[in-house]
A and B are shown apart, each in its own frame.
Chain A
Amino acid sequence: MSSKLNAKIPGGPMDTKWSRYRSTVPLVNPANKRGLEIIVVGSGLAGAAAAASLAEMGYKVKCFCFQDSPRRAHSIAAQGGINAAKNYQNDGDSVFRLFYDTIKGGDYRAREGNVHRLAEVSRNIIDQCVAQGVPFAREYGGLLDNRSFGGTQVQRTFYAAGQTGQQLLLGAYSALQRQVGKGTVKMYSRHEMLELVMIDGKCRGIIARDLISGKLERHFGHAVLLCTGGYGNVFFLSTNAMGSNVTAAWKAHKNGAYFGNPCFTQIHPTCIPVSGDHQSKLTLMSESLRNDGRIWVPKTKGDTRHPNQIPEDERDYYLERRYPAFGNLVPRDVASRAAKERCDAGFGVGASKMAVYLDYASAIERYGKSKALQLGIHEPSAEQIKSLGKEVVAEKYGNLFEMYEKITGENPYEVPMRIYPAVHYTMGGLWVDYELMTTVPGLYALGEANFSDHGANRLGASALMQGLADGYFVIPYTIGSYLSQEIRTKAIPTDHPAFEEAEKKVQGTLDKFLSIKGEKSVDHYHKALGKIMWDKCGMGRNKEGLTQALAEIKALREEFWQNVRVPGGLNELNPELEKAGRVADFLELGELMCLDALNREESCGGHFREEHQTEEGEAKRNDEQFSFVSAWEFKSVGSWELHKEALDFEIVKPSQRSYK
Chain B
Amino acid sequence: MNITLKVWRQKNAKEAGNFVTYRLQDISPDMSFLEMFDVLNEQLIGKGDEPVAFDHDCREGICGMCSMMINGRAHGPTRGTTTCQLHMRSFNDGDTIVVEPWRAKAFPVIKDLVVDRTSFDRIIATGGFISVNTGSAQDANCLPVPKDDADKAFAAAACIGCGACVAACKNASAMLFVSAKISQLALLPQGQVERESRALNMVKQMDEEGFGSCTNTGSCEAECPKEISLENIARMNREYFMAILKK
Are B35 and A280 touching (Cβ within 8 A)? yes
Residues of A within 8 A of B247 (CB): none
Q: Is B133 an interface residue (CB 8 A)?
A: yes
- Taking the closest CB of chain A, its distance from the CB of B157, in whole angstroms, is 5
Are B118 and A68 touching (Cβ within 8 A)? yes
The residues in B between 48 and 86 inclusive whose CB is less than 8 angstroms from any CB of A are 48-51, 53, 55-65, 80-81, 85
- Taking the closest CB of chain B, its distance from the CB of A158, in whole angstroms, is 8
The residues in B between 136 and 161 inclusive whose CB is less than 8 angstroms from any CB of A are 136-141, 143-147, 150-151, 153-154, 157-158, 160-161
Known: A407-B85, A567-B48, A567-B49. A127 touches B138 (CB 8 A): yes
User: Cα distance A512–B124 when bound, in Å?
Assistant: 40
User: Cα distance A577–B244 when bound, in Å?
Assistant: 50
Known: A86-B140, A128-B134, A135-B184. A242 touches B59 (CB 8 A): yes
Interface size on B, residues (CB 8 A): 78
Q: Is A427 an interface residue (CB 8 A)?
A: no
Residues of B within 8 A of A189 (CB): 118, 121
Q: Is A16 an interface residue (CB 8 A)?
A: no
User: Cα distance A473–B57 when bound, in Å?
Assistant: 29
A156-190 Cβ-contact flags toward B at 8 Å (1 or 0): 00001101011100100111011011000001010
Residues of A within 8 A of B126 (CB): 181
- Within 8 Å by CB of B111, from A88, A136, A275, A573, lies A573
- Within 8 Å by CB of B38, from A163, A174, A278, A573, lies A278
Q: Is A472 an interface residue (CB 8 A)?
A: yes
Residues of A within 8 A of B50 (CB): 567-568
- Within 8 Å by CB of B135, from A128, A174, A278, A575, lies A128
User: Cα distance A273–B92 when bound, in Å?
Assistant: 25
A556-575 Cβ-contact flags toward B at 8 Å (1 or 0): 00000000010110001111
Residue of A whose beta carbon sits closest to that of B143? A130
Q: Is A9 an interface residue (CB 8 A)?
A: no
- Taking the closest CB of chain B, its distance from the CB of A629, in whole angstroms, is 29
Residues of A within 8 A of B188 (CB): 133, 135
Q: Is B32 an interface residue (CB 8 A)?
A: yes
Residues of A within 8 A of B144 (CB): 138, 141-143
Known: A52-B134, A77-B63, A241-B63. A406 touches B161 (CB 8 A): no
Q: Is A394 an interface residue (CB 8 A)?
A: no
Are B124 and A72 touching (Cβ within 8 A)? no
Residue of B whose beta carbon sits closest to that of A243? B57
- Within 8 Å by CB of B133, from A56, A142, A160, A283, lies A56
- Within 8 Å by CB of A242, from B56, B134, B151, lies B56
Residue of A whose beta carbon sits closest to that of B153? A135
Q: Is B131 an interface residue (CB 8 A)?
A: yes
Residues of B within 8 A of A133 (CB): 129-130, 153, 184-185, 188, 190-191
Among the stretches B39-47, B93-101, B214-222, B228-236, the one at the interface with A is: B39-47
Q: Is A126 an interface residue (CB 8 A)?
A: yes
Q: Is B114 an interface residue (CB 8 A)?
A: yes
Residue of B whose beta carbon sits closest to that of A127? B137
Q: Is A487 an interface residue (CB 8 A)?
A: no
Are A406 and B85 touching (Cβ within 8 A)? yes
Most chain A beta carbons < 10 A, residue from B38, B44, B48, B154: B154
- Taking the closest CB of chain B, its distance from the CB of A260, in whole angstroms, is 26
Are A76 and B62 touching (Cβ within 8 A)? yes
- Taking the closest CB of chain B, its distance from the CB of A19, in whole angstroms, is 14
Q: Is B211 an interface residue (CB 8 A)?
A: no
Residue of A whose beta carbon sits closest to that of B42? A521
B105-138 Cβ-contact flags toward A at 8 Å (1 or 0): 0000011001011101100111011111111111
- Within 8 Å by CB of B30, from A135, A276, A567, lies A276
Are B31 and A278 touching (Cβ within 8 A)? yes
Are B129 and A175 touching (Cβ within 8 A)? yes
Are A242 and B57 touching (Cβ within 8 A)? yes
Are B158 and A278 touching (Cβ within 8 A)? no
User: Cα distance A74–B30 when bound, in Å?
Assistant: 24
Q: Is B170 an interface residue (CB 8 A)?
A: no
- Within 8 Å by CB of B120, from A53, A69, A137, A165, lies A69
Most chain B beta carbons < 10 A, residue from A76, A476, A565: A76
Q: Is B2 an interface residue (CB 8 A)?
A: no
Residues of B within 8 A of A135 (CB): 150-151, 153-154, 157, 184, 188
The residues in B between 170 and 191 inclusive whose CB is less than 8 angstroms from any CB of A are 184-185, 188, 190-191
Known: A131-B138, A278-B35. A68 touches B65 (CB 8 A): yes
User: Cα distance A167–B157 when bound, in Å?
Assistant: 7
Are B153 and A67 touching (Cβ within 8 A)? no
Are A473 and B134 touching (Cβ within 8 A)? yes
Q: Is B166 an interface residue (CB 8 A)?
A: no
Q: Is A576 an interface residue (CB 8 A)?
A: yes
User: Cα distance A56–B125 when bound, in Å?
Assistant: 15
Q: Is A429 an interface residue (CB 8 A)?
A: no
- Taking the closest CB of chain A, its distance from the CB of B119, in whole angstroms, is 10
Are B147 and A140 touching (Cβ within 8 A)? yes
Residue of B whose beta carbon sits closest to that of A519? B46
- Within 8 Å by CB of B65, from A67, A473, A567, lies A67
Are B129 and A132 touching (Cβ within 8 A)? yes
Residues of B within 8 A of A52 (CB): 134
User: Cα distance A281–B151 when bound, in Å?
Assistant: 31
User: Cα distance A135–B186 when bound, in Å?
Assistant: 12
User: Cα distance A226–B132 when bound, in Å?
Assistant: 25
- Taking the closest CB of chain A, its distance from the CB of B159, in whole angstroms, is 9
Q: Is A320 an interface residue (CB 8 A)?
A: no
Are B158 and A77 touching (Cβ within 8 A)? no
User: Cα distance A576–B146 when bound, in Å?
Assistant: 49
Are A177 and B153 touching (Cβ within 8 A)? no
Are B147 and A472 touching (Cβ within 8 A)? no
User: Cα distance A402–B60 when bound, in Å?
Assistant: 11
Residues of A within 8 A of B46 (CB): 521
User: Cα distance A333–B79 when bound, in Å?
Assistant: 37
Q: Is B89 an interface residue (CB 8 A)?
A: yes
- Within 8 Å by CB of A69, from B45, B56, B80, B161, lies B161
User: Cα distance A188–B69 when bound, in Å?
Assistant: 27
Most chain B beta carbons < 10 A, residue from A132, A175, A275: A132
Q: Is B6 an interface residue (CB 8 A)?
A: no
Residue of B whose beta carbon sits closest to that of A183? B125
User: Cα distance A187–B132 when bound, in Å?
Assistant: 20
Are B161 and A403 touching (Cβ within 8 A)? no
Q: Is B213 an interface residue (CB 8 A)?
A: no
- Within 8 Å by CB of A280, from B32, B120, B133, B161, lies B32
Q: Is B28 an interface residue (CB 8 A)?
A: yes
- Within 8 Å by CB of A142, from B30, B42, B146, lies B146
Interface residues of A (CB under 8 A from B): 49, 52-53, 56, 67-72, 74, 76-77, 86, 88, 124, 126-133, 135-144, 160-161, 163, 165-167, 170, 173-175, 177-178, 180-181, 187, 189, 212, 241-243, 275-276, 278-281, 283, 402-403, 406-407, 409, 472-473, 476, 521, 523, 565, 567-568, 572-576
Interface residues of B (CB under 8 A from A): 11-12, 28, 30-32, 34-35, 38-39, 42, 44-46, 48-51, 53, 55-65, 80-81, 85, 87, 89, 110-111, 114, 116-118, 120-121, 124-126, 128-141, 143-147, 150-151, 153-154, 157-158, 160-161, 184-185, 188, 190-191
List 21 A-B residue pairs with CB atoms under 8 Å apart, sorted by A's residue number: A53-B133, A53-B135, A56-B133, A67-B65, A77-B58, A124-B137, A127-B139, A129-B140, A137-B150, A143-B144, A144-B141, A177-B124, A178-B131, A242-B56, A280-B32, A280-B59, A283-B60, A523-B38, A572-B12, A573-B111, A575-B53
**Given A403-B61, A523-B42, list of 19 further CB < 8 A pairs?**
A67-B57, A67-B63, A69-B118, A69-B120, A71-B64, A130-B143, A133-B191, A135-B151, A142-B145, A165-B62, A173-B124, A174-B124, A175-B132, A189-B121, A278-B39, A476-B135, A521-B45, A565-B45, A573-B110
6 tightest A-B CB contacts, nearest first = A142-B144, A181-B125, A131-B137, A174-B129, A135-B154, A127-B137
